[in-house]
Amino acid sequence: MAKTLVIQPVTRIEGHAKVTIQLNDAGNVDTARVNVIELRGFEKFCLGRPVEDLPRITPRICGVCPWSHHLASAKACDAVFGVQPPPAGAKLRELCNSIAYMEEHILHFYFLAGADFLLGPDADYSIRNVIGVLGAAPDIARKVVKVRHMCAHMLEVLAGKAIHPQAAVPGGFSKPLSPAERDQLRKNADEALELAKFSIAFAKENIFPKYLDVVKSLAVINTGFLGTIKENGALNLYDGKLRLMSSNGSYQDFPYDRYTEFITEHIESWSYLKFPYAKQWGEGFSMDIDNPKGIYRANTLARINVCDFIDTPLAQAELEEFRAKFGRPAQLPALSLGAADRAALQRRERHPVAGRSRDHQHGNAGKGYAAGGSRCGLHRGAAWHAHPRLHHRCRWSDHQREPDRWHHAQQRSHQHVGHASRQESDQRRQV
């Protein structure tokens, strides 16, 4: 007799989902689906909003990764206004992205996924959580909690708040970095780097070898991959061109404003989630696990697959070891946990000294992009690392060439921007 099994809620995720498994008369699985059951509506209620509202609204998409949405929205605002942030503003944005990456990956590795690996899949589910990790490895847990809290505090120092930030603005960044703050952040970054090195060594010695057989057999599927890289092919987690890699390792690079030439979306009635796929491959869309068509991944595994190298020495050494074992592109889905470790190591390794540049400090911020009597200000002396072209009044109706970019921007985290009057802009920019 046919039967439907429902697992609800799905835990350890940001959002709401359930798993529906349909059994046939013989008791075998006919279909298994992950149903995303929350309607967000951001693509609709952002329409018509003032341009400067969007970097403040879009972080509410997610409480775990608000910085990704915040910075992507700010970059979309840059594109609408046709400006680029001055060097200090760009550096501060990327520094925030790196710190948020550290904090989020600590959350994922230790709090969400880590319990299954540290305690083992046979442990009772009631203790297979962060409290169980604290009991099983108290010294590690204390260190992890401390560094995660420290990373959140670093974001507060840089941007005023860690969750649902408002610091990135069209054309720049709204808060300078003082020398004292820079020195403190450098010490914190060094401590975060030490945790990253410990984590990857601990995982390679105590976790990954235990589960290698499972990794090689669990949910195996061959897909393509999508990620951002620098012009020279190095890993880039903040900006850069997009690289769409097929399952055989061949790839195409393209700028984000050509996104709709390469990617489109499929919709299913059983989920509010959209299903983007690679229309550039010309094979349509299919989620058949034995013969997927148009399917690509955009996760941590994708990022280290698409890059040619990582431009920091420790992370590059780990990448070489990873590829020697699993090839390129690595397809095994369970490798994503190890990929996250390597990408997070690059973030910690790249930015321990990011604050040393004097461009971040109030006196040199903006490199001359200033108005209103402040070298780092937009106007009225406000300390904004922003481009002076943002004095101009800009409405969405002036940018009708952009609708395709916006239509897909929200889903891809290149958020839509609307319009703002000069009066509204002046009010919001005051410090």
CA-based radius of gyration for the chain:
22
Per residue in 305-331, pLDDT tens? 999 999 999 999 999 999 999 999 999
Q: Which residue from 347, 349, 321, 350 is spatially nearest to 335, judged by alpha carbons?
A: 321
Helix (H) or strand (E) holding 278: strand 275-278
pLDDT higher than 80, residue 60: yes
Per residue in 151-195, pLDDT tens? 999 999 999 999 999 999 999 999 999 999 999 999 999 999 999
Determine the length of the chain. Answer: 431
**Per-chain mean pLDDT for the chain:** 80
Per residue in 215-254, pLDDT tens? 888 888 999 999 999 999 999 999 999 999 999 999 999 9
Contact 55, 36 (CB under 8 A): no
Long-range Cβ pairs for the range 363-367 (8 Å, 24+): 364/88, 365/86, 365/88, 365/89, 365/176, 366/86, 366/88, 366/89, 366/172, 367/86, 367/87, 367/88
C-alpha–C-alpha distance, residues 241 and 257, integer Å: 10
Per residue in 41-58, pLDDT tens? 888 888 999 988 999 999
CA torsion 37-300-171-67 (nearest 10°) is 50
**Band of the pLDDT at 342, cuts 50, 70, 90?**
low
C-alpha–C-alpha distance, residues 276 and 294, integer Å: 9
Q: Which two tokens stand for residue 213?
A: 């057989």
Give the pLDDT of residue 355. Answer: 40
Specify the pairing of strand 3-7 against strand 17-23.
antiparallel
Residues 42-212+409-418: name the CATH superfamily. Answer: Cytochrome-c3 Hydrogenase, chain B (1.10.645.10)
pLDDT higher than 60, residue 113: yes
Q: What ranges do the domains of the chain cover? A: 3-36, 42-212+409-418, 221-331
Residue, of 263 and 15, whose pLDDT is higher: 263
In which residue are the tokens 């070891």 written? 321
**DSSP states of 293-348:** BS-EE-SHHHHHHH-SB-SSHHHHHHHHHHHHHH-SS---GGGHHHHHHHHHHHHH
Strand partners for 29: 23
pTM: 0.78
